[in-house]
Amino acid sequence: MTEVNRPPRVGGWTRLVTARPRLSLLAALVLTALAVLAGSGVADRLGSGGWEDPDAESTYATKALEREFPASQPNFLLLLDAGDASVDDPAVAAEADRLTARLAGEKGVTGVGSYWRTKSPALRAQDGHEALIAARITGDEKTMGETLDRVAPHYRGTHGPVDVKVGGVVAVRHEMQTIIQEDLTRAELIALPITLVLLVMVFGSAIAALLPLAVGIVAILGTNAVLSGLAEFTDVSIFAMNLTTALGLGLAIDYALFIVRRFREELADGAEKLTAVATTLRTAGRTVLFSALTVAVSLAAMLVFPQYFLRSFAYAGIAVVLLAAGAALILLPAVLVLLGDRVDSLDLRRVFRRGRPQGRKDAQPPTEGEEGTAWGRAANLVMRRAPFFAVATTTVLITLGLPFLGVKFGTADDRQLPSSAESRTVQQHIRDGFPGNPGGGLEVLAQGRATKGQYAAYKERIAALPEVVRVDGPLVKGDSAYFTVLPKGEAVDGAAQRLVGDLRETKAPFHTEVTGAAAVLVDSKDAIAGQLPWAAAFITIVTLLLVFLLTGSVLIPIQAVILNALSLTAMFGAVVWVFQDGHLSGLLGFTSPGSIETTLPVLMFCVAFGLSMDYGVFLLSRIKEEYDHTGDHERAVRLGLQRTGGLITAAAVILAVVMVAIGTSRVTNTKMLGLGVALAVLMDAMVVRGLLVPAIMRLTGRATWWAPAPLRRFHTRFGVSEGDSTATSDSAPARDKATARG
């Protein structure tokens, strides 16, 4: 009797998830409906910031200035354009004064000032035709957004002799939030039908193709409910919704694809449906579980960073991975039990088959002698010339990553938005036409009792710093005061960042804190640099442990970590070459600010590394299964690649389609995330898994499976694999076990 006809060895779990399949599906339907209700309107509860370190000096100073000197931190701007007239024209001045007074009376708005009241040259355009009214909208992000929605329509548009546009940080973030929601809906509308077509091409059966899509939708809806609940207790970034969609569809499809494919192969080999489900859960199910854990580990590493932008992606990523795996391991088996042979219903490929057997024969796994498939031939070619492929592939990947050596870090600003966005238009007018870049100043908060002479002496010391253009202030209130320092050059360039350090080192007879865009960037970079080693260590150690538990090898986990990191080089090189240096900016429709937002490389690494491990686990588990059953290392590598190469490629292409759909966003950071991760996924699946892994494993030979005796005993007791058993030693695999099918 073949292995597939034996009673399921994990019958307890199989019985648990298949005993009441209709009841399980009904419960899932009810829970999904509740998730829809709980997650409805989740985007309105999410924030659009989170790039700053909440414990940094700049954050403390910003909050103190908001409290003591609200006019020092304007986040709402009205750009008044007088057309051909001068902003000093009496009619223009009268209308501007009326708008200023009206704005000062709005609820939730404070610190209102304008060029016409202060005569500050920083608030007047150099050509004399534009000027600013500045104010601060108070409250948290949600409250500020509500205030903006209430106030802005009354000021936007033509008012007598002036045309008014709305800008400022609040407007930028609010417009970004709106655009992300619109783009996410469009991305889903693009990705879903294309994904369905690809799944039909992979499975042939429309019924089988719909199952992975259903698992993905359940994972997305469930994660939206989780994010909605988290938003009641902590800050969550709206950008995380993009990851929810991408991973929800991508990983759920990966997992369901793997399970459905294995189930169909077991049926094709003559197994009864319950036995097929049991074998599928014992083999592909274990692989899915380990894959989900490795992806979750990579995403969980972002929890060590203080910025809620990064933490939000950890929340969303962990939730969607666990929900996708849970749906694939709990709900999908129940559906497969109900469908049985009907999983192959509605075979849409029949019209293209002539003279070929119908039914499940297409799903049969390759036999031992079938080495003529494309992946089998590729594996043979790579292993015959392993040194060449190992060196050539590594060289190409490192070369593609070289542009990242020139990375420049910056902060996200209005240039993330499309050029047609109103708030970006306002900020661009300010950058191009106003003196001294009024949005790029640094604020120095002085706390402690001081005399006018002490303030004056401190101001002179600041003005003497080499990167300073002008110092304004101080404005004194009680024992607190603040100075505005205008740096040379751009708001966050190298000179501005050096000035932050100089200001913090300048001696003063009172306590000082520095804030402003450059200070926030400096503090953010320090926070990431401080936590990055911990995040990297966490990912590395836990990944090594998980891969060891899966394979029982010491060398394979090390190879997996190194090769996964190597697979990301093309992504990082492309990020700098395209999004920092501006190549292809016209084709892709974005404006390069000349830098990369500080948190983006961390986010992209964690996401792409996790997805690379996802495919790595799929391949390694099948190679390990073949090796356990035969003890033939090269045959195991060849058959492992032959039997998973097409599956991994299909999964990678589908996930890349989803990420490219996300990459059509009009917000640059989202575009960078989507297109960058899509590139990383394709490079990993097609180059690293298809060329580098078999080449390296051929070079390491049987030593690939070595482990010292204590670790072998540990793995025998606690480890698992996709097969039914693990090798008892590196030299005596279980050849007497039944040969695995498919």
pLDDT tens digit string along 142-156? Answer: 888 889 999 999 999
Backbone angles phi, psi at 164, to 5 degrees: -115, 130
Binned at pLDDT 50, 70 and 90, residue 13 comes out as low
Helix axes 240-268, 633-662, angle to 10 degrees: 140
In the chain, the domains with their CATH numbers are 3-45+175-406+524-718 (1.20.1640.10), 75-167 (3.30.70)
The whole-number average pLDDT for the span 45-66 is: 86
Helix (H, G, I), strand (E, B) or coil at 84: coil
pLDDT tens digit string along 242-298? Answer: 888 888 888 888 888 888 888 888 888 888 888 888 888 888 888 888 889 888 989
Q: Collect all residues with Cβ–Cβ distance below 8 Å to 163 and sequence separation of at least 6.
A: 80, 81, 83, 157
Residue 363 pLDDT > 70, yes or no? no
Q: Identify the burial level of 132 via C-beta atoms within 10 angstroms of its C-beta, where 0-12 means exposed, 13-18 middle and 19 or more buried.
A: buried
**Side chain identity, residue 559:** Q
Write down the pLDDT at residue 12.
57
Q: Please give the Cα distance from 693 to 669 (Å, whole number).
A: 32
Residue 5 pLDDT > 50, yes or no? no
The CA angle 678-681-687, to the nearest 5 degrees, is 125
Write down the pLDDT at residue 438.
56
Q: Please give the Cα distance from 278 to 485 (Å, whole number).
A: 69
Q: Which of 396-410, 425-439, 607-621 has the highest mean pLDDT?
A: 396-410
The whole-number average pLDDT for the span 109-115 is: 90
Residue 550 pLDDT > 50, yes or no? yes
- What's the Cα-to-Cα distance from 246 to each of 250, 255, 543, rounded to whole Å? 6, 14, 22
